[in-house]
Structure 1
Amino acid sequence: MTRFSMLDLATSAPGRTVREALAEVVPAARAAEAAGYHRVWYAEHHNMQAVASSATAVLVGHVAAHTSSIRLGAGGVMLPNHSPLAIAEQFGTLAELHPGRIDLGLGRAPGGDLAMLAALRRRPEDSERFPTDVVELASYLGDGLPTEAVNAYPGRGTKVPLYILGSSLFGANLAARLGLPYAFASHFAPDALDVALATYRRSFRPSAACPEPYAIVAANVVASDDAAEAAHTFRAVLRERVRRFVLRPGAELSDVDVETILDGSHGERVRHMMSVSAVGKVADVRGYVGELLERTGADEIIVAHQVPELRARVRSIELLAEALA
């Protein structure tokens, strides 16, 4: 059976605080663990009021301490924002505290805008070092000394599994060249999905860590016992995306006005961004995800449950497991 996993951004819905969003991370992970999910990942984003998962290592450690078996990790750390040594020490520490449960997905994007980069004391051109930074990070987590002078303690010998994340051919080529698993962010950037997976598999070079290509495909899911409720929830999520990505900062419009924008040409960007989405009852979700897996041949699907309210999100987590059982 294809593995299924969860991506959690610790999203705070309108009118709710960051603290409230973070308080729901453990219950959601426990629900995924009980339902048989393979892993939960948390993604690094910055300067986004609705996303509370910026400090991925802190969040992974917190959830690991309150779960028992599910794999946990970053999906991912935006490596150009960090020193490879610092990330090796962070995730090496997590691996020593929670052996056999920690993953490390790596992305090249900054996870924010130019103002955010300046606040992190980083530059846009730092992303050009991404391939060499991945190799350096892998050396810190391996058994050998990366240099005569520098080592990662904790980190050395933990062999934390690395994954390359991407939404373009760059990540696909890099993952293939380094012999690493590849996760495609089709839950918000679906355009290059098919060609990226084909490129990755065609160019893949086996490694000790990953002897065969391993592809993870991301999707959005809103599963409910009531199809109309699922559709209503997903439509509300689309409206929030319009407010975040289409409207000017500070603009205040009613839901009716946003609906008009969403159905027009300006809303097409949002609708397309969220086009890889399974919405409905168990049978609907099973059918959509089954077609996606058949189309992509993915070894694993990782889903973002786009359900703001915790109880309904937990039910969506359970229903996806039921759909894929």
Structure 2
Amino acid sequence: MTAVPLSILDLATVDHGGNIAEALRHSVELARTAEALGYERMWYAEHHNMSSIASSATSVLIAHIASQTERIRLGSAGIMLPNHSPLVIAEQFGTLATLHPNRIDLGLGRAPGTDGATFRALRRTHQASDNFPNDVVELQKYLGTDIASTAVNAYPGRGTNVPLTILGSSLFGANLAAQLGLPYGFASHFAPEALTTAVAHYRANFRPSEQLEKPYVLAGVNVVAAATDEEAEAQFTRGELERVRKFLSRGREVELTLDQAGELYDTPAGQQIRDMLRYTAIGGPERVIDELDAFARHADADELILAFAAPTHAERLAGARIVASPKS
């Protein structure tokens, strides 16, 4: 493996031509494989109204994966807190932590994780994002023991002290994580622009807390690993095209075909989507590890969150094995 611990971000991806039930079975298989291979943890993200992502009910998916595994840590990367009451999230993750002690992590994001119409369908307002810092503090209190027993408490939740991580792609999240003394996860796997600036700000302004004595940075990076460099490059090209197809199919009654996506590949919209993949480690066993180590140094990261970006589950699973055991 690499010089830093590795985690995996699993979006419960619905492969082209597949279905949601299949995607959820794939998530179980990936988590079991990651556990056997020694990955640090699995992360699951809250996204809504995306037909290719099956992780919208994030806490439910984590509960299912936890019941199908034994040791690996499981977390949200993240729960989009503006979509929820802090009390409800404390109850959900307090339940998870009670059922699966010392295995649950709670990553929190400020974005809605969806489009405007779906945000309204969630019955939230844009002002909810403005309350994010206060909501994080409120959630932290529900998971602790400082609230009087005569006040509103989270049951389950109280006293579980589920570890929190602030997720983001800007100085806002970096600053909040630093001020609260929490780990900071940067979403460089899809929003690469401010990575080094945000991490430097976080480290320079970090204040120790009961949860964390010194800064801890997690950085997202896409990975395409295969038996050879050439095979990995080919998988990346196919995966990049599939990503363009999925993104530009949103809001359409009928999804684009791969040929239609190919026609949009070099358009400004296509290029914008491809630019999201700036931080991608691509290669055979030796090259991909070298690229991951180089990225960890560039990001000044203590842990990497790997988003396997090959177009099929079988290829993503094989990539996870190659990264964990590059010499096997």
Same fold (TM over 0.5): yes
1:306–1:313 Cα contact (<8 Å) kept: yes
Match of 2:99 in 1: 97
1:43–1:56 Cα contact (<8 Å) kept: yes
CA displacement at 1:296 relative to structure 2: 1.9
CA displacement at 1:145 relative to structure 2: 1.2
Match of 2:144 in 1: 142
Alignment-mate amino acid for residue 325 of structure 2: E
Q: Distance in 1 between matches of 2:129 and 2:267?
A: 35
Match of 1:118 in 2: 120
1:114–1:124 Cα contact (<8 Å) kept: no
Confirm whether residue 277 of structure 1 aligns to residue 280 of structure 2: yes
Residue from 279, 293, 317 that aligns with 2:320? 317
Q: Distance in 2 between matches of 1:86 and 1:324?
A: 45
Match of 1:66 in 2: 68
Match of 1:45 in 2: 47
Q: Distance in 2 between matches of 1:281 and 1:149?
A: 56
TM-score (norm 1): 0.95
Q: Distance in 1 between matches of 2:147 and 2:317?
A: 44
2:105–2:162 Cα contact (<8 Å) kept: yes
Q: Distance in 2 between matches of 1:153 and 1:253?
A: 46
Q: Deviations over 1:173-222 (max 9, x none)?
A: 00001100000000000000000000101111110101100000000111
Q: Distance in 2 between matches of 1:250 and 1:233?
A: 28
Superposition map of 1:1-325 within 5 A: 1-145=3-147, 148-246=150-248, 249-250=252-253, 254-323=257-326
Cα gap change, 1:241 to 1:311, in 2 (>3 Å): closer
Compare 213-222 and 141-150 and name the one that shifted more: 141-150
3-state SS in 2 of match to 1:262: coil
Identity %: 52
Q: Distance in 2 between matches of 1:146 and 1:212?
A: 29
Q: Distance in 1 between matches of 2:231 and 2:258?
A: 17
1:187–1:219 Cα contact (<8 Å) kept: yes
1:26–1:66 Cα contact (<8 Å) kept: yes
TM-score (norm 2): 0.94
2:12–2:23 Cα contact (<8 Å) kept: yes
Cα gap change, 1:249 to 1:39, in 2 (>3 Å): same
2:238–2:311 Cα contact (<8 Å) kept: no
Please tell me the root mean square deviation across aligned C-alpha atoms, in Å: 1.8
Cα gap change, 1:178 to 1:252, in 2 (>3 Å): closer
The number of equivalent residue pairs is 325
Compare 144-153 and 3-12 and name the one that shifted more: 144-153
3-state SS in 2 of match to 1:65: helix
Q: Deviations over 1:283-305 (max 9, x none)?
A: 12112111111112210000011
Alignment-mate amino acid for residue 234 of structure 1: F
| Unmatched 5+ stretches in structure 2 | none
2:185–2:218 Cα contact (<8 Å) kept: yes
Q: Distance in 2 between matches of 1:79 and 1:172?
A: 16
